[in-house]
Amino acid sequence: MSRFPSFSVRTEVSPSVDSESLQRWVVAFCAIRFDLEQGQLVEECYPQGCFSHDEELEIAYSSFPDSVSQHQNQNRSSIHDCIFFYRIHRHLKKSLDEKGVADSSNASKFLYGYVFNRQRHDERLKRGGEQKSVVILSYSPYSSVFRPLLQIVGPLFFDIGKKALEHIAAYVSKWPAPLPGKVMDLPIGNATLKVNLPPAHGLPVEGELSFEEGASSVAPFVPNSQPVPQGLFHDSDIFGSFRGILLQLWLLWELLLIGEPMLIIAPTPPQCCEAVASLVSLVAPLLCSVDFRPYFTIHDPVFARLNSIQEGQAFPPMILGVTNVFFLKALRNIPHIVSVGSPPLNSNRLALTTRSSTGRGSGRPEGLGFQQLSLKKFSPSSLLSAVRLRRDGPLCLMTEHKEAIWSIYSATTKPDTSILNRLIDAGVSPRVEESMSVVNNEILRRHFLELTTNFLAPFSPYFRTSTPLEGSSPYVDPPSLPPFNADEFLASLSARGPGKFILKRMKSNWLDLYRRFLNGPNFLPWFQRRRAVAEQEQDRLWRQARMKTDIQQLISRLSELEIVDSFNVIERLLLREIQQSGKSGIDSVATSQKLKGDLRAIFNVLSKDMQQLMLSNPERASLLQPSPESPKLPGRPLIQVAVGSSTSPR
C-alpha cells in the first residue's frame, strides 16, 4: 500500500510471539477464502485453535461483502480491495473456580472483526474470479489501530502468504499494553503506527474501573489545536457518511441518545460500517450501550430472532449496518431506516477513499465516494422530492439507491444551521477533498460533543465528590453521593431548566427527551459507571487527605469519643487496604504503613481498659504490632502485647 511502501519482513527468520501479550490487542489473525464448493472457509488462523467450528463459520460469513453489494467490474482482469469491520457476539465458557469446578454458565463478549477483502476479477479463473479476506479479530474497538494495520497485513499476506500473519502477530505481541485515551507509537517492522486510543469511559467495562478512567470520564473540552478522542470511533468520517442528509444529523443524534432501533443501509460494507461508527461517535462522551453492528448479515445468529418479531412487537435497541436490500422486507418492523452512501462506479482502476480524519491518505482501499456537498436552501423541487420519498417508502431502495431517512419520530433538537454554514464545500482534487473532510469532521464532532456534554450536565450534581474540610478529621466515613430518583430529577429539572445551551437548541418539549433518555438503554449503564468513577475519585481524595494528616495534631483536637470512633474507622480502612494491596501496588503499601502508624498512635492515648479490650481480638492485636520498616513515633513508645507500656488518656 502507498502509506507503507517500504514495509518488509525477513521471512527466513522464525518470529517469536508472546501469546499473552498478543491477547492484549488481538485474539487472532485469520485468512478466509471463498470456496466455490464449500463457501466461506477459514484457510489460516494464527494462533491456531482460537475458535470453535461454529465460531469460524460466523467469522467467515461476516468477512465478505454481501453478494448483492459486491463491486461490479466489466474489465477482463482487475483487483478490488476494501476495508470494513463488524461486531459479533462471542459466548465464552467461564474458567474453573478455586476448587477446580467448571462453571456451566457462559460469559458473552463482543468480538470485532477488521477485514481486508480482495476481489480479483479474471475471466480465466473459474466463475470469473476469486476473493479472500484477511481478518484481525479483537475484543477492542480500536479502529484507529487496526485499520492502518490491515493496510500492512492485508497486502503482505497476498504477497508472502501465512507467514505474514505470524510476523505481524510477533510485532503486535511486543507492543506495550493499550493506554486508553492516550497517543501511542506502535512499531510494526520498519514502520510505526501513531494512534489515538478511545478513552476508558467510552469502552465496555472489563472488571474494575481504573483511576485513569476517573481522570478521563469528565470529558473536558480541549484547545482547538489538540483534538483528543472523547469516545468510540473518534476517527470516523461523520461528514462523508452523512453528507447527503446533513440536516438530519440532529435527528440521528437524538435517536441514538434514547436508544431507538435503526437500520443503516449503504451500497458497500465500507460505507455502512463507516456510517454506523460515525453515528456511535456522535453521542460522545456518553457510553453507548446500544447493540451496534457496523456490518450485519443474514448469517448472524441474531438475525433469526429479529426476523421473527411480529408487527406491534418492540424492536430491540440496535443499530444495524447492512448492504443487502433484503433487510428492508425481512426487518420491516424496524422503526427508523437511514440510507447513506453512493454505489461504486464501474472503473478500470482501484477505487480509493479520500477519508482523512485519521490522517490516512488516498492510498487506502475503497471507502466513500464523495458527492458534491449540498446545503441548498428550501425549494419547491426539494419539497416535492421529500414528499415522493415519504410516499414511496424505503422499499424504493430496492430499485434505486437514494440518501434519505424514513422515520415518524419528531425530533426535539433543532438543526444548528450555523454549524452547517461553517462546513466547507467539496474541492476538485483528492488532496483538497481530504483537507476539507478533516475540517468538516472537526467542526461536526466538536459541536455534537458540546451538545451531548450540555445535555448530560444536569446530572453532574449526582457525581459531585467531597473532601474533608480544613482542620476536620479524614477518619470518618465520607458522605454518600446524592441519591438519584428519576421522578424527583425530572421535577427539579422542569423547575430550574436544562441550561441556556440546551434551551436555545431544543423545542419546548425538551423535558420529554430527558424522560425518554432515562427510560432508554443508554442512561443506566452510563449513570452507574459515572457514579462508580465518582465514588472512586472521592475515595482517592480521602485517601490522599489521610496520607497528609498529622495524626498527633489531629489527636490533640479530638474528644475521647471521637478518638474511639477514629480508631474503629482507621482499623476498617486498614483491613480494606490490606485486602486490596495486591491490586493497588506501591501506593497501597504506603497507605497501609501510614494507617498502621496512625492506628498505633490513637491506641496509645486510649485508657488501659480500652486497650485491653482492643487487644483481646487477635486480628486487631496483629494490626497494632509495628512492621519492621515502620519508624518509631516521636514521643510515643511502640505498642507491645502487654498493655503496661501504653500511656494514660488525656
Least confident range of 95-109, 379-393, 396-410: 95-109
At 126 the pLDDT is 67
Q: Do residue 40 and residue 149 come from a single domain?
A: yes
Confidence of residue 9 (pLDDT cuts 50, 70, 90): low
Q: Do residue 571 and residue 608 come from a single domain?
A: yes
Over residues 495-507, the pLDDT tens digits come to 999 999 999 999 9
Quick check: is 128 in a domain? yes
Segment 598-602 shows an average pLDDT of 90
Segment 27-56 shows an average pLDDT of 89
- Helix, strand, coil abundance in the chain, percent, nearest 5: 45, 15, 40
- Greater model confidence, 98 or 562: 562
Domain boundary residue, one of 528, 563, 592: 528
How many Å separate Cα 336 from the centre of its chain? 24
Quick check: is 396 in a domain? no
Least confident range of 138-147, 457-466, 595-604: 595-604
At 381 the pLDDT is 66
Quick check: is 320 in a domain? no
Q: Judge residue 262's burial from the number of C-beta atoms within 10 Å of its C-beta, 0-12 exposed, 13-18 middle, 19 or more buried.
A: buried
The C-alpha atoms of residue 408 and residue 570 are separated, in whole angstroms, by 59
Quick one: cell of 570? 482507621
Q: Do residue 22 and residue 146 come from a single domain?
A: yes
Confidence of residue 130 (pLDDT cuts 50, 70, 90): confident
Residue 96 has pLDDT above 50, yes or no: no
At 217 the pLDDT is 44
Grid-cell match 511502640, residue found: 638
SS3 277: helix
Confidence of residue 377 (pLDDT cuts 50, 70, 90): very low
C-beta separation of 71 from 366 below 8 A: yes
Strands 404-406 and 291-293: unpaired
Residue 364 has pLDDT above 70, yes or no: no
Domain boundary residue, one of 155, 175, 197: 197
Strands 318-322 and 262-265: parallel
For the ranges 93-102, 317-326, 610-619, the maximum mean pLDDT occurs at 317-326
At 462 the pLDDT is 96
Quick check: is 616 in a domain? yes
The C-alpha atoms of residue 481 and residue 458 are separated, in whole angstroms, by 15
Q: How far is CA 272 from CA 84, 155, 170, 443, in A?
A: 9, 23, 32, 22
C-beta separation of 648 from 608 below 8 A: yes
Segment 48-74 shows an average pLDDT of 79
Provide the number of structural domains found in the chain: 3
C-beta separation of 289 from 205 below 8 A: no
At 231 the pLDDT is 87
Q: Which amino acid is at 140?
A: S
pTM of the model: 0.83
The C-alpha atoms of residue 129 and residue 593 are separated, in whole angstroms, by 70
Least confident range of 233-237, 377-381, 462-466: 377-381
How many Å separate Cα 160 from the centre of its chain? 34
Residue 641 has pLDDT above 50, yes or no: no
Residue 100 has pLDDT above 90, yes or no: no
Q: Which amino acid is at 196?
A: N
Could you give the strand order of the β-sheet that contains 39-46, starting from the edge strand earlier in sequence?
39-46, 28-35, 129-138, 106-122, 77-93
Could you give the strand order of the β-sheet that contains 262-265, starting from the edge strand earlier in sequence?
291-293, 318-322, 262-265, 336-339, 404-406
Q: Do residue 495 and residue 600 come from a single domain?
A: no
C-beta separation of 28 from 49 below 8 A: no
Quick check: is 400 in a domain? no
Q: What is the 3-state secondary structure (H, E, C) of 280-310?
A: HHCCCCCCCCCEEECCCCCCCCHHHHHHCCC
Least confident range of 77-81, 386-390, 518-522: 386-390
Q: What is the 3-state secondary structure (H, E, C) of 508-565?
A: CCHHHHHHHHHHCCCHHHHHHHHHHHHHHHHHHHHHHHHHHCCHHHHHHHCCHHHHHH
Quick check: is 180 in a domain? yes
Residue 238 has pLDDT above 80, yes or no: yes
Strands 129-138 and 183-188: unpaired
CB atoms within 10 A of CB 46: 20
The C-alpha atoms of residue 324 and residue 318 are separated, in whole angstroms, by 17
Helix axes 523-548, 586-604, angle to 10 degrees: 50
Over residues 170-213, the pLDDT tens digits come to 999 999 999 999 999 999 988 899 999 999 888 876 545 544 45
At 361 the pLDDT is 32
Size of the chain, expressed as the number of residues it contains: 650
At 585 the pLDDT is 52
Q: Do residue 513 and residue 580 come from a single domain?
A: no
Q: Do residue 518 and residue 565 come from a single domain?
A: no
At 127 the pLDDT is 66
Question: What is the sign of the dihedral through the CA atoms of 545, 551, 552 and 555?
Answer: positive
For the ranges 68-72, 89-93, 311-315, the maximum mean pLDDT occurs at 311-315
Q: Do residue 50 and residue 127 come from a single domain?
A: yes
C-beta separation of 206 from 50 below 8 A: no
Least confident range of 135-144, 239-248, 427-436, 444-453: 427-436
Quick one: cell of 159? 504477497
Look up the domain containing 23 and give its range: 15-70+77-92+108-197
At 11 the pLDDT is 62
Segment 506-510 shows an average pLDDT of 95
Q: Do residue 30 and residue 170 come from a single domain?
A: yes
Q: Angle 516-518-524 (CA atoms, 0-180°, nearest 5)?
A: 140
Residue 590 has pLDDT above 90, yes or no: no
Q: Do residue 522 and residue 555 come from a single domain?
A: no
Domain boundary residue, one of 168, 197, 226: 197
At 627 the pLDDT is 57
Q: Do residue 520 and residue 569 come from a single domain?
A: no
At 644 the pLDDT is 36
* Mean pLDDT taken over the chain: 81
At 228 the pLDDT is 63
Confidence of residue 67 (pLDDT cuts 50, 70, 90): low
Phi, psi (deg, nearest 5) at residue 416: -95, 95
Residue 476 has pLDDT above 60, yes or no: yes
Q: Do residue 60 and residue 136 come from a single domain?
A: yes
Q: How far is CA 97 from CA 101, 102, 408, 564, in A?
A: 5, 6, 51, 41
Quick check: is 374 in a domain? no
Confidence of residue 645 (pLDDT cuts 50, 70, 90): very low
At 44 the pLDDT is 92
What percent of the chain lies above the pLDDT cut of 70? 78
Q: Do residue 505 and residue 575 come from a single domain?
A: no
Quick check: is 277 in a domain? no
